[in-house]
Chains A and B, each alone.
Chain A
């Protein structure tokens, strides 16, 4: 039985459910208390111990069906729940001229300081692979500061309400005489930052830079930053983005994103985000940053409606459109027109300098 369970755990890990050894141990323990010959009991023992979120459940069902090739004892999920498919591996978009990075890196960019200065203002879509590689290193220096909000948690402080526990403990030292009142007050906490990065075809030249920006933001505040990619579907890549190395984080995200360089269904995907995450709390009181060119394939009515909904939930909505950096740009696309009434800050995100500006906007949002 142990071998069977270990084999199943391996299958499960392949399917993307992180079945860690202690979880497997818990499953074995659970099986010890149940009837092992009942497929239903085996199914539930595994599901209860190995899964850790609704995203895991469909993967678990698929892996269970494959491994035990038994019937699923559970009714198919209700229509309200979006079906979660296994992420197909998609190559990470490197921009034009990929592959040659390593070889072409060394020769040019000899004069670092001034090159950095010029590079900061160049449109990332028009960079050579070497410049692109150099810009990646500049991203490591970007430290997005986080906005704050007042917390309910109190810490010792010179001002504020009287901290009874500390006051009494101090009074004890002087034989019960309260000589000084000690205080505590509320502290500031980081406000949640949510990045929605458009990875559709029309955004392909910027997606890499935007995801690197997202990575820098996650690294700065791992617990209060969420990253999703939008295209034809919604993918949460926060977990992948928490990897320390930006290249590994992007590669991991790349294989998690099934709709890389596909079309856009902004309205629908935004709705999926709000239904599954936003309204429950991810967007509540958060600074939400939508990085997209607003190119909407379908009608824009849904997008406008969902943006209004997002605006009601979020603390601030920032829209980053790389095309805004081009001279003479007017937000004429239907999607942009529909979204703009619900946007607090409309900024460009086409160059390093623009990203630096964006960090300022996020901090003071």
Chain B
């Protein structure tokens, strides 16, 4: 499987079972769920769906990488399985594990019934599907078609990456005691990375790569309005403008769309109808997450950023 040219899989050019004739229709469907993609992201998601290729999303924290997977699950009506990566993640936490406690109990029960003479059948009964605990990757393949979200793949170590590669290249998992599990329809896989580590080229090669940027002003206002319908138009516009300004200030952690939503919610909760400098300064903790950043913004002319 590794190395060499990938297998020439036949692209289903005809409409996908999910029924999106093109990226535009997919974008429209996503918009109905409250996720507003731009042209590039819509094309990426569409291609991932029709080409059965994993979608590799990179970008600043809080630009909506994880949210996209959830929105895609919603529009395709598929169940979503999420695998949160972390260092030391092992096959037993990502794929499957045997329920050892129950296996031992089963053994004891067999012993009590004096059924331990036939070791062959005893072993077969021990490695039965009912003693198998399915973890996200196996769940996603068994419950096909599904959406599989491999979140923050950069946090897992490279051993895990090699092993993920194996699963993503042919969407099968072989369990020595049981046999091979194959997805009837390959799951729609979304991998996200915050780029804390360079993910290996071999994994990226199998994926469609997309770099997500902060949304532009109009899109951000639209997202805020859509996600927070109670917030006034005026407040949404001013929060979007202030957040855009904050992003140009060269901060340690520029605010993402998640932060601007938090901020708008915080301001709205305090009863603000527009961005008033005093309230803005008091709620700054919703957007800025570093003391250095807060000090920097406070030292700059507040009016310049928070003014209407």
Contact = CB atoms under 8 A, between A and B. Distances in A.
A107 interface: no
A275 B195 CA distance: 12
A130 to B, nearest CB: 39
A48 B43 contact: yes
Interface residues of B, number: 60
Given A23-B205, A29-B9, A175-B111, 16 more contacts: A25-B5, A25-B6, A25-B8, A26-B53, A29-B51, A34-B47, A44-B39, A47-B209, A51-B211, A77-B213, A78-B213, A151-B157, A167-B100, A171-B104, A176-B111, A223-B158
A121 B210 CA distance: 50
Interface string B6-37: 10110101000000001100000000000000
Nearest to A30: B47
A104 interface: no
B77 interface: no
Given A78-B213, A78-B214, A176-B108, A168 B103 contact: yes
A359 interface: no
B212 to A, nearest CB: 10
Contacts of B209: 47-49, 51-53
Interface stretch (B87-95, B139-147, B181-189, B299-307): B87-95
A174 B209 CA distance: 51
B116 interface: yes
A282 B210 CA distance: 21
Contacts of A78: 213-214, 247-248
A332 interface: no
Given A48-B208, A281-B197, A151 B88 contact: yes
Contacts of A223: 158
Nearest to B210: A48
Contacts of B98: 165, 168
Contacts of B198: 53
A33 B5 contact: no
Nearest to B119: A175
Nearest to B247: A80
Given A52-B209, A54-B58, A151 B87 contact: yes
Interface string B196-225: 111001001100111101101000000000
- Determine which residue in B86, B90, B213, B214 has the highest number of CB atoms from chain A within 10 A of its CB, and name it: B213
A80 B213 CA distance: 11
B73 interface: no
Interface residues of A, number: 52
17 contacts: A22-B5, A26-B208, A44-B43, A48-B40, A57-B211, A75-B216, A77-B213, A79-B248, A80-B248, A152-B87, A154-B90, A165-B100, A167-B100, A171-B107, A275-B252, A279-B252, A284-B196
B83 interface: no
B46 interface: yes
B196 A47 contact: no
A20 interface: yes
A356 to B, nearest CB: 29
Contact of A22 (B6, B50, B195): B6
B154 interface: yes
A280 B43 contact: no
Interface string B44-60: 10110011010000100
A53 B58 CA distance: 8
Interface in A74-94: 74-75, 77-80
A273 B50 CA distance: 38
A227 to B, nearest CB: 13
B92 A165 contact: yes
A41 B195 CA distance: 26
B123 interface: yes
A26 B6 CA distance: 9
Nearest to A41: B43
Given A25-B6, A47-B40, A48-B209, A172 B123 contact: yes
